[in-house]
């Protein structure tokens, strides 16, 4: 029961920050689940795989809600969605196969580096926002490029899908900048990225389930491949309850302070993972 309460608490935190920042929450969920699974004495060489698979499964539900919301506001470019989805599916499946083949140490290094990248990216945006003349729109027209060929969108989808499945994210942190470079309006870039997060999550979860069945004898009870069902259920329940609260807080004066706390949390989780890895 005590672990179910921990899953509920984690889900509440993840849901709040997902609503506040518009992220899938994988950057927090994966390291937190890694620590919890370690404390529960799960097989050490499968712990990170279980954390990635379980986190990817939670994104199915959050991305579905996000997709529906953005579609209602006509913010999804379905042409680009159709162009990118084949590449997304292939890349995401390839990423799950690679993740299953990699040792925990390599996966930990990849994930930790990505956490540091995401945290630094958020910190730089907060810094540029606080200084006049350094906004993100400066010289944006000079940095944009129109990608008109279908194959380029498919190739980009493959890369985004592979990276997203390796680190268990919905891909928005990669998709939005890419679509912005393609001269897509920011509103539509965010909406389309939210839509693309659904096939990433669905395909990634399928890949982690299938690859996990090959290691079924090394997995804890109540696991569906690399998806640990008890954690999944409580995470979804709590995050769905707190995500609206985070979304409302977005418009308050404390948003920048909360974002800085989130960045500090990411750096702390990355440091803890590296410490555990090399200790």
Eight-state DSSP code of residue 15 = H
Residues 6 or more apart whose CB falls under 8 angstroms from that of 231 comprise: 7, 33, 36, 54
pLDDT digits (tens, 9 = 90+) for 152-190: 899 999 999 999 998 888 888 888 888 888 888 877 888
Q: Please give the tally of structural domains in the chain.
A: 1
Mean pLDDT of 77-90: 94
Contacts (Cβ under 8 Å, ≥6 apart) of 180? 140, 144, 186, 189
Higher-scoring residue by pLDDT: 138, 149: 149
pLDDT, mean of residues 190-203: 89
End-to-end, the C-alpha distance of the chain in Å comes to 30
**pLDDT reported for residue 160:** 93
**Full domain range(s) for residue 274:** 2-278
Report the range of poorest mean pLDDT among 30-34, 171-175, 275-279.
Answer: 275-279
Nearest residue to 52 via CA among 29, 25, 35, 22: 29
Write the DSSP string, 208-258. HHHHHHTTGGGSPTTEETTEEHHHHHHHHHHHHHHHHHHHHHTTSTTHHHH
Question: d(Cα 13, Cα 32) in Å, to the nearest integer?
Answer: 11
pLDDT digits (tens, 9 = 90+) for 245-272: 776 775 565 667 777 877 888 888 888 8
- What pLDDT shows up at residue 267? 87
Half-sphere exposure of 267 (CA within 13 A, CB side): 11
H or E element that contains 101? helix 78-101
CA distances from 122 to 115, 127, 222 (A): 11, 9, 36
| Stronger pLDDT, 115 or 248, i.e. the higher one | 115
Query: 232 and 58 in contact (C-beta within 8 Å)?
Result: yes
């Amino acid at each position: 029961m005590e672990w179910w309460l921990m899953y509920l608490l984690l889900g509440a935190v993840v849901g709040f920050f997902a609503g506040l920042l518009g992220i899938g929450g994988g950057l927090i969920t994966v390291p937190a689940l890694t620590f919890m699974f370690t404390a529960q004495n799960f097989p050490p060489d499968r712990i990170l795989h279980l954390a990635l698979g379980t986190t990817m499964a939670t994104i199915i539900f959050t991305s579905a809600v996000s997709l529906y919301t953005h579609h209602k506001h006509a913010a999804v470019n379905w042409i680009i969605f159709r162009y990118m989805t084949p590449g997304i599916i292939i890349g995401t499946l390839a990423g799950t196969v690679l993740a299953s083949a990699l040792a925990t140490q390599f996966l930990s290094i990849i994930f930790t580096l990505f956490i540091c990248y995401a945290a630094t990216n958020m910190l730089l945006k907060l810094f540029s926002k606080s200084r006049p003349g350094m906004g993100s729109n400066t010289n944006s027209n000079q940095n944009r490029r129109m990608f008109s060929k279908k194959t380029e969108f498919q190739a980009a989808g493959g890369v985004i899908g592979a990276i997203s499945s390796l680190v268990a994210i919905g891909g928005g942190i990669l998709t939005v900048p890419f679509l912005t470079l393609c001269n897509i309006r920011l509103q539509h870039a965010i909406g389309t990225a939210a839509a693309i997060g659904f096939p990433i999550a669905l395909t990634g979860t399928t890949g982690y389930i299938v690859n996990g069945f090959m290691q079924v004898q090394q997995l804890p009870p109540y696991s569906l491949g690399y998806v640990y069902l008890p954690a999944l259920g409580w995470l979804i329940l709590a995050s769905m309850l707190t995500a609206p609260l985070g979304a409302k807080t977005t418009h308050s004066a404390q948003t920048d302070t909360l974002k800085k706390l989130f960045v500090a949390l990411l750096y702390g989780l990355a440091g803890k993972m590296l410490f555990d890895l090399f200790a």
